[in-house]
Structures are given as structure tokens and as C-alpha cells.
Amino acid sequence: MKLVTWNVQWCRGVDGSVDPARIVSEARRIADFDVLCLQEIADNFVDPDLAGASGDDQFAVIASLLPGFTAVPGVGVDQPARDGGRRRFGNMILSRLPVRQVYRHLLPYPLDPGVPSMPRIAVEAVVGAPFGDVRVITTHLEYYSAKQRMAQVLALRSIYAEGYAYARDAQITKDDGSPFHTFVRPRATIITGDCNFEPDDPEHPAILAPFDDGTARLHDAWEVAHPGTPHAATFCIYQKTDPSGGELHCDFIFVSDELRARVRGLEVDQATQASDHQPVILTLG
């Protein structure tokens, strides 16, 4: 199973051009992926609200460019648009593996007075990998507010643990195909996305901390694949948010205990300039 995660900056490249087709083409060049996790997908945003944006529904456009994939959108921002309609912003999972259940988890948004922020979401799809079902959760955590970002990290841990409990202890109460149909979740889990923290920030050990209820720990897939090696940069290589700042390492893939031994590779493509972030590629076997 091969998974790519990528913050695509509303499909805007370092050259300032907004082009969903280029994103899909670059992703396909980088890896023959089974699952593609994207962050910062826009619908009905136009320049200058998002630089270079034309208002296209990128959720629909990207889905149309990947026939044979199931598209799972996750909208965090849903607000009035200038044209009187709605505009949306969020994340997306596309899978050519069978998609079972889908869950959308709104993340905490505690007030942090005077600090810019936006609502955040984690979108989850259970996919049928060759070795069994896997929960794939992708998200984009808060950039400006450290208070909100830590609350969101703790919420991700709770989302993971909640699903793990269903995998461990769920009883089938209904199997009639109704909305009450019970689905037992798999233990194997991938959590991925733009986390907006660094490996030495407090959020990193927080998400990896042990659980006290029997839930298996999460692992940083980079550290599994490259023990003792500093994380590769995934942000601000070609386009800086701070002209004097260095490269950042904020795009992560975390895997549950069940998948740790299946990690065959974790790489960062540092060549593409189709976004201000770099794609991260996970290979499981």
C-alpha cells in the first residue's frame, strides 16, 4: 500500500499559478499511490481571498481527474461567499482501494482572543488494503494558535482511541443495513497531514504519548523508517512565510502499533514546486 499526503495550498504553486491538474499530475509522477491525502482544498474562493484562486470547486475537479478513485471530502470552513453562495475549505482523501466507512471529525476550536484561526477537521476513511482494513485520517492543524493546535492534537488522540475501542470491544447490535448498522473498526491506523508543529515542539511527544486504557501507541513513521535521522524538510524550501526563516518539518505520518512493522519506506519529495509544501510518501508492505 502506498500513501501520499500533501498540503497543496489550494493547488497554488511557488510560481503563483493555481492548477489542480498540475497537482494530480505531480502526485502521479511522484508515486503510484493507492491513497492520496490532500490538505487546503478550496471551493468558490476567489482572488484576493485566496491568491490566484478562480472560484473552482477543487473537490470536484480533483475527483474528476482521478477516475477509479473514491473521493472523500472533509470541509472545515463553510461560510458565505461574495457571490451570495457558499465557499468551502478543507481536506480530501482519494482512494483506489475499496472505501468502507467514512467519518468526519470537527476538531476543537477554543477561543484564543486576538489570534487568527480557522475551523479544522479530520476526515477519516476506512480503506481495504491488501493486508486488511486500515483507518486513514488526514487533517490540517491550526497554524497561528498554539492553544488550538494542542487541543486539536489531543482530540486526534481521542479520535484514534475511540476507533481503537470499536476495533477491540465493539459488539454487533444491528447488521440490517440501516444507519444503525454496527461497523467494527480496524486497529490499523494512519494519521497524516500538515500538523503545523516541528518534531521538537511539545505537540509531537503529546501525540505519541502512551495511552492508559490499553490503546496501542502511535509512532512517527519517519522515525520508524529513518531511526536517528533528522526529519526531512517539508515546508518553506522554495517559498518562505518568513523571509529570514529556515526550512520547516511539519508534515507528518503517524502509524499505529499494528502498522509499525509494515513500514517499508517514508520519503519526502523535495523537488516539486507545485505547492509551498512537499509531498510525503509512505510505503507499507
**192, 194, 200, 203 alpha-carbon torsion, rounded to 10°:** -70
At residue 121, does pLDDT exceed 80?
yes
At residue 244, does pLDDT exceed 80?
no
> How do residues 57-103 score in pLDDT, each as one tens digit?
999 999 999 999 999 999 999 999 998 999 999 999 999 999 999 99
Q: What is the CATH number of domain 2-284?
A: 3.60.10.10
At residue 258, does pLDDT exceed 80?
yes
- In this prediction, residue 126 has a pLDDT band, given cuts at 50, 70 and 90, of very high
**What is the CB neighbour count within 10 angstroms for residue 158?**
13
In the structure grid, which three cell numbers stand for residue 280, read together?
510525503
Identify the three-state secondary structure at position 4: strand
> How do residues 129-185 score in pLDDT, each as one tens digit?
999 999 999 999 999 999 999 999 999 999 999 999 999 998 999 999 999 998 889
Q: Which residues contact 91 (CB under 8 A, 6 or more apart)?
A: 37, 38, 39, 40, 41, 73, 74, 76, 121, 122, 123, 138, 139, 140, 193
Q: Where are the domains positioned within the chain?
A: 2-284
Average pLDDT, whole number, for the chain?
96
93 neighbors 100 (Cβ within 8 angstroms): no
What average pLDDT score do residues 235-250 get?
A: 89
Identify the three-state secondary structure at position 35: strand
With a pLDDT cut of 70, the percent of the chain lying above it is 100
